[in-house]
């Protein structure tokens, strides 16, 4: 085995670790690397256990938080996450929601303080690589964007970090597969339908074929059972799910060595 490395995943909500980086997690864990998950918010504005979306009238945010933490624990177990840190900020909701400005919301927090909090975890685990969302927060969620900003600030504070990578999806995948899946009756959550979603294929520099981990990825998404906007993905035929979600893609956002060499692996070239 190569020298064991430590990858830190910085995610905004319970279920993002499943949707975005679960196959990557299992793959690196099976190679003996350490994968540390930081989840920034409590996901209070997700669907509550009665299936009410946040924050409609009657939505039970405290039951939502409890349910989602339980689901996250199950997901971490399935993915064999080495270590889990829960920052506990309030889910800020989508852009423009009044919850954005509440004092406990993640986006209301001072960026320097959040970056230092994340950096302290990264220093404690001697992080080699940090993975988070791109500057657009993958699909524009303010909490994802805050993770991006905090991660960019944190890498400067942690000497062990060699690489910051963003989890992305090439535009061609959306163009090709979403219409095919919809023709087969799949209904995707609204964020998958955002028109500007995805990166130009030529800019995506790490393409991990993780088809062998598609089943575990689908299981981890299913672990977040209250989040029913993902129901079609949870219930998708496993073979079709593998075709759609069998790869996880990354772009290099920053490398300490400054090199711009194409790599096929997130750990390649780390001194």
Looking from the CA of 117 toward its CB, the CA atoms found within 13 Å total 19
To the nearest whole angstrom, how small is the minimum distance from the Cβ of residue 204 to Zn ion?
20
Rounded Cα gap, residues 78 and 153, in angstroms:
31
Question: CB under 5 A: which stretch of 11-19, 53-61, 89-97, 111-119 binds Zn ion?
Answer: 11-19
Nearer to Zn ion, 5 or 13 (CB): 13
Residue count at the site for Zn ion (CB under 5 A)?
3
To the nearest whole angstrom, how small is the minimum distance from the Cβ of residue 123 to Zn ion?
25
Residue 98: partners with Cβ closer than 8 Å, 6 or more residues away: none
HEC string for 170-208: EHHHHHHHHHHHHHCCCCCCHHHHCCCCCECHHHCCEEE
* 9 DSSP β-pair partners: 37, 131
Reduced to 3 states (helix: H, G, I; strand: E, B; else coil), residue 56 is: coil
CA angle 142, 228, 47 (to 5 degrees): 55
Nearer to Zn ion, 147 or 267 (CB): 147
To the nearest whole angstrom, how small is the minimum distance from the Cβ of residue 138 to Zn ion?
8
Query: Is residue 44 at the binding interface for Zn ion, with CB under 5 A as the rule?
Result: no
Residue with tokens 């919809």: 182
Nearer to Zn ion, 59 or 123 (CB): 59
- Are 90 and 105 in contact by the 8 Å Cβ rule? The answer is yes
To the nearest whole angstrom, how small is the minimum distance from the Cβ of residue 141 to Zn ion?
5
Footprint of Zn ion on 16-35 (CB under 5 A): 16
To the nearest whole angstrom, how small is the minimum distance from the Cβ of residue 249 to Zn ion?
17
To the nearest whole angstrom, how small is the minimum distance from the Cβ of residue 186 to Zn ion?
20
Nearer to Zn ion, 6 or 41 (CB): 41
Applying CB under 5 A, which of residues 5, 13, 242, 247 lies at the interface with Zn ion? 13
Nearer to Zn ion, 16 or 71 (CB): 16
User: Which positions lie near Zn ion, rule CB under 5 A?
Assistant: 12-13, 16
């Amino acid at each position: 085995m190569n020298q064991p490395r430590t990858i830190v995943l910085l995610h905004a909500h319970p279920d993002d670790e499943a949707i975005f980086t679960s196959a990557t997690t299992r793959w690196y864990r099976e190679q003996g690397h350490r994968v540390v998950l930081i989840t920034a918010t409590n996901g209070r504005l997700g669907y509550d256990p009665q299936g009410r979306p946040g924050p409609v009238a009657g939505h039970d945010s405290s039951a939502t938080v409890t349910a989602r933490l339980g689901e996250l624990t199950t997901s971490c177990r399935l993915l064999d996450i080495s270590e889990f840190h829960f920052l506990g900020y309030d889910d800020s909701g989508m852009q423009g929601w009044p919850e954005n400005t509440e004092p406990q919301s993640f986006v209301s927090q001072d960026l320097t303080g959040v970056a230092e909090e994340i950096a302290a975890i990264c220093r404690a685990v001697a992080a080699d690589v940090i993975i988070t969302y791109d500057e657009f927060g993958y699909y524009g969620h303010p909490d994802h964007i805050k993770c991006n900003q905090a991660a960019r600030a944190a890498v400067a504070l942690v000497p062990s970090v060699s690489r910051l990578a963003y989890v992305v999806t090439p535009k061609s995948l959306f163009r090709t597969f979403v219409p095919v899946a919809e023709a087969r009756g799949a209904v995707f959550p609204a964020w998958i339908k955002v028109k500007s979603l995805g990166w130009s294929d030529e800019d995506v520099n790490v393409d991990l074929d993780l088809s062998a981990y598609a089943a575990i990825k689908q299981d981890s998404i299913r672990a977040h059972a209250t989040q029913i906007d993902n129901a079609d993905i949870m219930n998708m035929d496993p073979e079709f799910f593998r075709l759609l979600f069998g790869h996880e893609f990354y772009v290099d956002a920053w490398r300490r060595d400054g090199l711009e060499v194409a790599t096929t692996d997130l750990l390649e070239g780390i001194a």
